[in-house]
Chain A
Amino acid sequence: MSEVHCLRSVDNLFVVVQEFKDYQFKNTKEEVLKDFEDLAGKLPWSDPLKVWELNTNFKKKKTKRKKINQNSSKRKMIDNGQGDKLDENNVKKEFADDLIGSHILDYYENPAIKEEILTLVGEDLASCKDEADESSKEDTELRVLKFRVTCSRAGEKHCFTSNEAARDFGGAVQDYFKWKADMTNFDVEVLLNIHDNEVIVGIALTEESLHRRNITHFGPTTLRSTLAYGMLRLCAPQPTDIIVDPMCGTGAIPIEGATEWYNCYHIAGDNNPLAVKRAANNISSLLTKNQIKEGKQSWGLPIDAVQWDICNLPLRTGSVDIIVTDMPFGKRMGSKKRNWNLYPACLQEMSRVCRPGTGRAVLLTQDKKCFTKALSGMGQVWRKVHTVWVNIGGLHAAVYLLKRTPQAFIHPLENERATS
């Protein structure tokens, strides 16, 4: 259980109640919703609920240990023979782990997540408060629980909305269990995930989508921490690697980097003063959170922020080991036309600062055409090693892994002189 909670590229953790690979939706909205209502009473709830109970107790024990200031990495599995078996069979993880294979990764938006922004410091303090409310309910007796249903729906052929499905399914769940519905202060979160013809009913094991774990100050296009983690893993950071995000926005990637790869040095840079300010704020929040969590003296992290222009980086030639960034898509930020000029200039400047031979870059973009064209003229300095396809809020984007060739950077003017 503890290991599952440590997974960094997972957005949400839930236990599957039932999975329908090819759900047959009826034709009218009324019929579809009635089906959902009927479904509630027919599902195999008891085992998943036991897992939920295990998980809740596990989390309570975790916060208790935090308060006593013990080393929180020594989490023990709850000693329950039956619990171990349940874990293997029923816990389903939505994994973005092996990015080395090119497959479509789906990150469809969970509407429950689009709420107000909570600070992570707030979350930690709140969970410490919960511990005080803990009563001795360690047995499997089902008391009157509070619940809510969250529905996330993706697909073009549905004749109903996620809200409608959640409402009607939720009504049936309430009748079946005699639980109390509560949108904010719930014990059990029932998930109804609908993706085209695939329907999964689950019970959440995490409170807040883990993709928001590090970011407190959001910007217009903040990258999910889980995606940032995946991108960083793709470039296999080595200890003391200098890792730079030259278009960092709110700093999602360097912050994820500084948390997980603290043996490296991370620099977040952007030309937009607002973005740099947000990145710096996110770094501060992270430092504060670290202080509270670890309870130790050390509150510095190997990360810095700089305001700069990607086309004119104030970095020494060949000084950077890894460049990881989310390039402007040209939809919410920038424009397709600007990309035609921006992309080649970026790739050129990145090739200059990147260490020849060992350096690499992991670049996310939706403007694949522009990127490919920009890259095509740079074979002497960049070699494309791998491409991963990603679905970002409905947009089909690509993550490119590039290796910096051993060729030293030649200044364009010198190049011209040499060839003329």
Chain B
Amino acid sequence: MARYDRAITVFSPDGHLFQVEYALEAVRKGNAAVGVRGTDTIVLGVEKKSTAKLQDSRSVRKIVNLDDHIALACAGLKADARVLVNRARIECQSHRLTVEDPVTVEYITRYIAGLQQKYTQSGGVRPFGLSTLIIGFDPYSGAPSLYQTDPSGTFSAWKANATGRNSNSIREFLEKNYKETSGQETVKLAIRALLEVVESGGKNIEVAVMTKEQGLRQLEEAEIDAIVAEIDAEKAAAEAAKKAPSKET
């Protein structure tokens, strides 16, 4: 098997593309990222490893704009992400120029996934080591969308999803607790999901909220702390409620 992971243009005897699978490993080692779609709000949350004291935290934004109405978060190799984001931003403007319309979320996701796939079928290159979560509102219909792409170049739409470290636990939590939400409820659900695997606190998570009217808004640390406090309070109340009845036997 070791012979089949040098030049990725070859399959292994049992049908694997090892470089793609190794890229997925790189994703699994990246920061946790979660996306939740509501009826009028879509939220992206990313784990923030504590920034070094001398580092300017504004230069390490993990949730980026691709256009006024589309945003992206990713897990994996951040340098690869930069290249992919730049190409996607150009494509968004090129689309606006050639058809005089902003891109739909599906179109730009298909473009990014297509780009990731190209690098799994060329000589001498390695795949991009990242999975992306792409959110946005379609220009005319206004429908909210959340898509995920991965190093193999596949993509699909989700109501809520997670990628990166411990994404399985986050996804399990979301599967158990997902319901149609809107506005602040969607934000809370996303943060609750992320807190399953990340230490509690505003300085450990980065959250961005997208609405149709206002586009992408990055939440301040203080705001996140406030919501986290709310969530903790709700959890404590739920715990108390559970314990109380059993005492009244």
Say if A and B assemble together. no
Q: Could you tell me which A residues sit within 8 Å of B by CB distance?
A: none
Q: Could you tell me which B residues sit within 8 Å of A by CB distance?
A: none
